[in-house]
A and B are shown apart, each in its own frame.
Chain A
Amino acid sequence: MTAAVEVSGLRVASAARVLVRPCSLELRAGEILVVLGETGSGKSLLAQAIMGTLPPELACAGRIVLGGEEVGHLPPAARRRLWGRRIALLPQEPWSALNPTMAAGGQVAEVHALLHGRPWAEARRRAASALAALGLGRAVGRHPFRLSGGMAQRVAIAATAATGAPVLLADEPTKGLDAGLRDEVAALLAAEAAGGAAVMVITHDVGLARRLGGRVAVMLDGEVVETGPAGEVIAAPRHAYTRLLLAADPETWAPAGAPAGARAAGATVLSARGLAKALGGRTLFSGLDLEVGAGGIVAVAGPSGCGKTTLGNVLLGLLAPDAGTVSRRPGTAAHRYQKIYQDPVAAFAPQATLRAALGDVVARHGLSWDAAARLLSAMRVPDGLLDRRPAQVSGGELQRVALARALLVDPVFLFADEATSRLDPLTQKQVMDLLNETVAERRLAVLMVTHDPALARGMASRTVRLEMPSPRDALYFGPGPGDSG
């Protein structure tokens, strides 16, 4: 039997440098291949080269064979004709990939009608039964804005599967989804493979690779450094980078568990009694009691849109609770309660350099620049970085600058709002390690919000779980991609 996808000596280069070094892959029908790597490792370029969607300024060389036919040298129009027939792409962030003006059923039906030339009545019937099989029977007539993130992802999968293409390419299919939805997507992709499709998944999420099984190819700087069955690679990684990547997966971290020794939470810094808050007509939480002690990390976990961020903002005093009280340790200045944001770029004034941003804080609180310099070196932020603007710095580096900026005002309480959810796993590990060190060193009280239960387990001594207010509401107020509630 010939391979569904066969890539040999594939190389992608821009005018300036080689982005994907020659690599070879083979994928048979019914198999799953997970390409694992960080942002900038070239894994998405690899997928684009196979799909035929590389930006025109990038040069691509090598053989790409789909179902026995060499397609690498075909002109773009001919490549486009293969889409949906030989190879289908499951887009990332389904909320933005679905047509916002069309109901879910129509989006699947049009594949049957336009691609396979079936009559519309039959196309609609097939679409309805496909959606019903995915548990979306009631969502057929709903437009994407009335679907939750997970439902939108299932609709996208149904539309992609409707093509019947023998090769299914999924680019970061779990980006912006929380852990529960990630498992659901993994199960659906595995089902596609069991149904005979060759599935290639591009991801930076080790957890997804673990759940999908199949084979894994690890990419680093445009090079495939390790391939093998998922079980073997994960159990016994041979390449040093793979080991790092696996160690960065929160699922492998030792649980922070019961506070021990130095980590025992000290005097209460912030406590809340009987908190309640409703937003948009939904009660997010009520009767909630919470205490955060010096040197302790409390995690708030739960699905996207359940009100985790709202809880943190109420504790910080940014929002008023509907009921209940928040009390701070007496005698602490207001600015000693700080927040770290999900998107570090948005947390800095866009037009000012980082040096100016930190200089402002130094000047405002009468500190010396030496204090800032010490913190920056503790956060391993190179000095040269400071003359750039926020958008010119990578997410991980900027999040470390944000941490340094917050620590500059000597906080007693830090609210980390999905602080690492937009970062690559290695960077997440780095930032979380720094946070851990800081907590131990400064006896800082931390409330961290995360949608990743594994991360909460690995970091926090206590976890508060928030649930979705009610399933019916969730359909209407489902969170957008990357929305942390």
Chain B
Amino acid sequence: MTAIPETSAAGAVPAPGSARGRRALGAGLLLAVGLLALAGPWLIDADPLRQDLRAALRGPGGGHPLGTDHLGRDMLARLAHAARLSLGLGAATVLTAAVPGVLLGLAAAWRGGAVDRALGALCASVMALPGLLLVLVLAGFAPGAFWPLYVGLALASWVEYFRVVRAVAASRLARPDVEAARLLGFGPAHVVRRHLLPDLVGPLATLMAFGLAATVVAVSSLSFVGIGLRPPTPEWGNMMTELLPYHAEAPLQLLMPGTLLFATVLGLALVCGREPS
């Protein structure tokens, strides 16, 4: 009989150093960015694209809670729209990469043999190409468009899901409980749901969280160097590029998109960074 020792984690306020505390902090950061992305564009009564050159580079206050940028556009509205864009594009990319990655990984583990080898070769050939290079090539076809980022990042990252799922599923499928389930008359759907998914949820959640963080950073980096989304579309990366010349006059405005990017990535890392238990 295994008695599971209860650790003293029942305190109302989790200590900041504990695993629970870190997770709570991460969830808080994500919640804040998520709220800004979801509710911000509705609640904020300002057009992120409307210029007002007489009100350029204002500090926080007045009609602009976070001030204005060099063209007098409302910073809060721009940040909120950029958050929606980054998180939305990130989530779409992660899902587009994860769904086929998981399905193909399951197929490779389940069928083995030729199917496994073919998918393995496909995966190896995708990995032979640096992911960002693929995005650059696609962006060359449609500079400044939304879709090359989405398609390129998804194409580059499904292999991670494929590899993890294939490895976990292959070892799980060889276990006696799967054999017992098949002998008892259960089909593949039941085996996947009852015997594979519970073991896959953990690694997949971690992979998706870090995938989201990587995508958000990649979109911002590409936009920062002028390859991704272009002004005037509000995007954290290109906002930083645009505000960079005004770092002396308006350091706060320059820091804002960077802070949100940082909070998003840190939040994801804290929520899903697994503690060795």
Contacts and interface: CB of A to CB of B under 8 A. Distances in A.
Contacts of A409: 184-185
B130 to A, nearest CB: 37
Contacts of B180: 339, 341, 347-348
A338 to B, nearest CB: 6
A349 B177 contact: yes
A378 B1 CA distance: 22
Nearest to B2: A392
Nearest to A317: B183
Contacts of B184: 335, 338, 361, 364, 405-406, 409
Interface string B234-249: 0000000000000000
Which secondary structure dominates where chain B touches chain A?
helix
Given A351-B199, A352-B194, A346 B176 contact: yes
B195 interface: yes
A360 interface: yes
Interface string B144-180: 0000000000000000000000000000000111011
A24 interface: no
A394 interface: yes
B198 interface: yes
Nearest to A16: B3
Given A349-B194, A351-B199, A391-B2, A338 B183 contact: yes
Nearest to A316: B183
A343 interface: yes
B198 A360 contact: no
A406 to B, nearest CB: 8
Contacts of A335: 183-185
B60 to A, nearest CB: 50
A341 B176 contact: yes
Contacts of A338: 183-184
Contact of B198 (A351, A392, A406): A351
A346 B175 contact: yes
A350 interface: yes
Interface string B39-55: 00000000000000000
A32 B129 CA distance: 68
Q: Which of B177, B186, B194 has the most CB of A within 10 A?
A: B177
Interface in A305-348: 316, 318, 333-335, 337-339, 341, 343, 346-348
24 contacts: A316-B183, A318-B183, A338-B183, A339-B180, A339-B183, A341-B180, A343-B176, A346-B176, A347-B176, A349-B177, A349-B181, A349-B194, A349-B195, A350-B198, A351-B198, A352-B194, A352-B198, A361-B184, A364-B184, A391-B2, A392-B4, A405-B184, A409-B184, A409-B185
Interface of A: 316, 318, 333-335, 337-339, 341, 343, 346-352, 360-361, 364-365, 391-394, 405-406, 409
